[in-house]
A and B are shown apart, each in its own frame.
Chain A
């Protein structure tokens, strides 16, 4: 019985990883840019929301400002320093995309670590813990899980049923075909970069809500998100979400039973095993 709160913690954490990783998956799937600064967007939004919340701004408004800030910043990046990567094709694009976003990641990390004290930030809701059947649940944790889950469901519905979502999938599957249908791939990529960085921002805020977020955690978030994206299948959004939840639960259980360091090793092991045995990821190439 005492495992249930740990598993719930794991699911909540996994949903946050999924929020982060779907951005990696979509941005890579559409434009072959592996965003190595992705986790920093989570930090920007998480710290912004926590700082605002700390000076008594309503938690929802704080969160909204944080998410929008991450998204708008993402848009600016996509339209400026990433242009040279988009102009290249094939391997050159992948490599320059990685170098540009890696550099950006270092810069953002340095800035955040300098400007904001290296302490833990959190977003607080005015509610207490609940006891149910003798087990203690943190409601903020459940709120974070709920918001993450709803956002991911909305994202999947958007991709599956709307014209925009179909256009996104078409560019992932065949960019030339998409152009023949009158779809402008650059525009789709821009919108997805905006959405992807906003989702990363939301993930950061959810982490600040369910536990804490530190300015220096961006690199780790990026690495975890990339692992989740690989395990889920680099072009599969559904796979990414499933992988996020699975790895979140495993991480949480292993942390609880053994320790955080071992849990991190499990993470890397999961990625390594996936690459060896199922290089196309859990759910293959479906988008």
Chain B
């Protein structure tokens, strides 16, 4: 984990800058990295069960399991398959599902579309839209600008580490500066 050089990370008015990664999960931040970081030699269901490791998440394991199986029916079909043997798209779905099993208040998705075929990307954004309807805040970092903004309530444009533009998803979609920033012209 990289510690901030300056500035602080605040969650529900708590300073969590110095908290270790596992502690942050306990407090309700779920991070789904682009690398997915699954347990390759374990089955889909074991991966999901581990998502519900914390005491808080364990209490709601059954209902969360039902929720992620509703969002990702393919995971239910494949629940006894080893995670390492699944396709890239399925692994991404599993990573997001495992993140949701931790019972988060914020779900952070880091470039979830990395390495996915266009058809799967569309599918993925459809699921992200559904997740936002589940009373859960999603923080999404994406390169697929148009699709990301169309599922977002608010958007922020980051340029070399600084927020240069922000606004509602719809506003940004039509803002020519966004496109400029995106293309780097």
Contact = CB atoms under 8 A, between A and B. Distances in A.
A287 B40 CA distance: 11
Contacts of B38: 174, 177
A132 interface: no
Nearest to B21: A179
A179 B25 CA distance: 8
Contacts of A166: 42, 46, 49-50
Contacts of A133: none
B42 A183 contact: no
Chain A's interface size range is: 20 to 34
B112 interface: no
Given A174-B37, A176-B37, A182 B54 contact: yes
B21 A180 contact: yes
Interface in A90-135: none
Given A166-B46, A170-B50, A182 B41 contact: no
B49 A287 contact: no
Interface in B34-48: 35, 37-42, 46
Contacts of A183: 22, 50, 53
Contacts of B32: 180
A223 to B, nearest CB: 29
A169 B83 CA distance: 14
B64 interface: no
Contacts of A170: 39, 42, 50
Contacts of A276: none
Contact of A180 (B25, B40, B46): B25
B53 A177 contact: no
* Interface residues of chain A: helix, strand, loop or mixed (majority): helix
B39 A180 contact: no
B151 to A, nearest CB: 23
Interface string A127-148: 0000000000000000000000
A285 B41 contact: yes
A173 B50 contact: no
B60 to A, nearest CB: 13
A185 B20 CA distance: 11
A177 B22 contact: no
Contacts of A286: 41
Given A174-B38, A179-B22, 12 more contacts: A167-B53, A173-B39, A176-B35, A180-B30, A180-B33, A180-B37, A180-B102, A182-B25, A182-B26, A182-B53, A183-B50, A185-B22
Contacts of B51: 181
Nearest to B52: A181
Interface in A134-166: 163, 166
A184 interface: yes
7 contacts: A163-B53, A166-B49, A169-B39, A173-B41, A174-B40, A177-B37, A177-B39
